[in-house]
Amino acid sequence: MRSRMWGGTAAVVLGGLLVAGCGGGEDAAGARKAGVSVSGGYPVTVTDCMGAKTTFSAAPKKIVTSNASSLELLLRLGAGDKVLGTGFPPGKGTLPGALDTEAQKVEVLGRTVIPKEKLLGSGADLYIDTFASMGSMGGGGMGDAPTEEEFTAAGIKHTYLKSTACAAANKQPVTDLSAVEADITSLGAVTGTGAKAKELVAGMRAKVDAVQKAVGGTGESRRPTYFFFDYDAGTKQPTVVCNRQVAHAVITLAGARNAFADCDGDYRQVGWEDVIAKNPDWIQLGVRNRGSEAANEKAFDEAEKWLKSNSATKGLKAVKEGHFVRIGSEQTTIAGVENAGTVEKIAKALYPGKVG
């Protein structure tokens, strides 16, 4: 699906860990949810969306990432020096600060999907795959993927980040960021950066907890309805985020009601008549990072102008009242550290004065 790729960034997720020996307390409870031993160490075993296990006896030394999202997580964890190449590289300026400088040094093995032969011959000992949820990278136009047997023959362990890749298979709506936190914890355990993973997760929780303290008690009927407008996925037929997608959790935690919360799955194409029927109170202008603040603002302007000038949308309540939220697509719909920051930004827009 087109909406899985975000201008060089794709949805990411890594398997939960199955290591025994957790202690007590809140951190241990979170570790058990991720399947991680709080004491750290190896072996570490991760699972994919179907429960298949991959075990690490030591930290990987040569990692290839399928896209910018998994690369960003490794950089944030301090494991960037282990990355030898990536597909779907981040455009210059799309990652914040020093992360961008580091990311631009990583060899590009593919501007889009890494060619099969190049991936198998890369010399990697780990490939973090973000394109597939059920062990098939070839679906949805993602190219000719190596089989698990070919990965094994090449000496490459093949893992997934699960909170987004497995979203469509979730049996219940996603209403919190625990799966994202579990992914970060898992990736930290695999790469030997567990302490940094714990720090990143704690930072996310602090932001979300502050928002929940301020607006979490708002009754359901008093919460504004919210439509994520995926401008870059195309305007002829809108693509909406459903209740299994991480964006649904972000919207919910921010004190809003996803206009398409009744849609089971991760994404779905609907008609503009469906959006009109929902008549949302707020609309997020979901555009993908263009590489600079000026370019991003131009894209936001274009998305807003389209809504205001299109006959099908100009009469929407949010459009007439100018209730637009300008936050990029990646940090909303792709699992990662920035999800918590997006919760905070949405809450500040919807509840001015309540969220610091």
Q: Would the pLDDT of 221 be above 50?
A: yes
Q: What is the DSSP letter of 233?
A: G
Q: What is the mean pLDDT of residues 98-127?
A: 95
Q: Would the pLDDT of 246 be above 80?
A: yes
Q: Would the pLDDT of 10 be above 80?
A: no
**Tens digits of per-residue pLDDT, 296-347?**
999 999 999 999 999 999 999 999 999 999 999 989 998 899 999 999 999 9
Contact 124, 84 (CB under 8 A): yes
Instruction: Provide the pLDDT for residue 135.
Output: 41
Q: What is the mean pLDDT of the chain?
A: 86
Strand 44-47 to strand 157-160: parallel, antiparallel, or no bridges (unpaired)?
unpaired
Q: Would the pLDDT of 17 be above 80?
A: no
> What is the torsion angle, in degrees rounded to the nearest 10, for the CA atoms of residue 43, residue 49, residue 51 and residue 56?
-10
> What's the Cα-to-Cα distance from 157 to each of 40, 85, 120, 304, rounded to whole Å?
20, 15, 11, 44
Q: Would the pLDDT of 25 be above 80?
A: no
Q: Dump the DSSP string for 156-191.
A: -EEEE-HHHHTGGG-SS---SSHHHHHHHHHHHHHH
Handedness of CA 332, 338, 343, 349 (dihedral sign): negative
Instruction: Provide the pLDDT for residue 16.
Output: 52
Instruction: Provide the pLDDT for residue 69.
Output: 84
Instruction: Provide the pLDDT for residue 6.
Output: 34
Of 164, 168, 165, which Cα lies nearest the Cα of 263? 168
Instruction: Provide the pLDDT for residue 201.
Output: 98
d(CA 231, CA 229): 6
Q: What is the mean pLDDT of residues 260-279?
A: 96
Locate 286 and state its tokens: 């979901």
Locate 51 and state its tokens: 């429960």
Q: Which residue has the higher pLDDT, 8 or 340?
A: 340
Burial of 353 (0-12, 13-18, 19+ CB in 10 A): exposed
Domain architecture of the chain: domains with CATH:
2-169 (3.40.50.1980), 204-350 (3.40.50.1980)
Instruction: Provide the pLDDT for residue 169.
Output: 79
Q: Which of 10-19, 201-210, 221-230, 318-327 has the lowest mean pLDDT?
A: 10-19
**Tens digits of per-residue pLDDT, 137-168?**
333 335 578 999 999 999 999 998 888 777 77
Q: What are phi and psi of 109, to 5 degrees?
A: -90, -15
d(CA 326, CA 313): 18
**Tens digits of per-residue pLDDT, 160-206?**
888 877 777 788 999 999 999 999 999 999 999 999 999 999 999 99
Q: What are phi and psi of 230, to 5 degrees?
A: -80, 80
Q: What percent of the chain has pLDDT over 90?
A: 68
Instruction: Provide the pLDDT for residue 14.
Output: 45
The pLDDT-based confidence of 228 (bands split at 50, 70, 90) is very high
Instruction: Provide the pLDDT for residue 293.
Output: 86
Q: What is the mean pLDDT of residues 127-131?
A: 84
Q: What is the mean pLDDT of residues 263-276?
A: 95
pTM of the model: 0.84
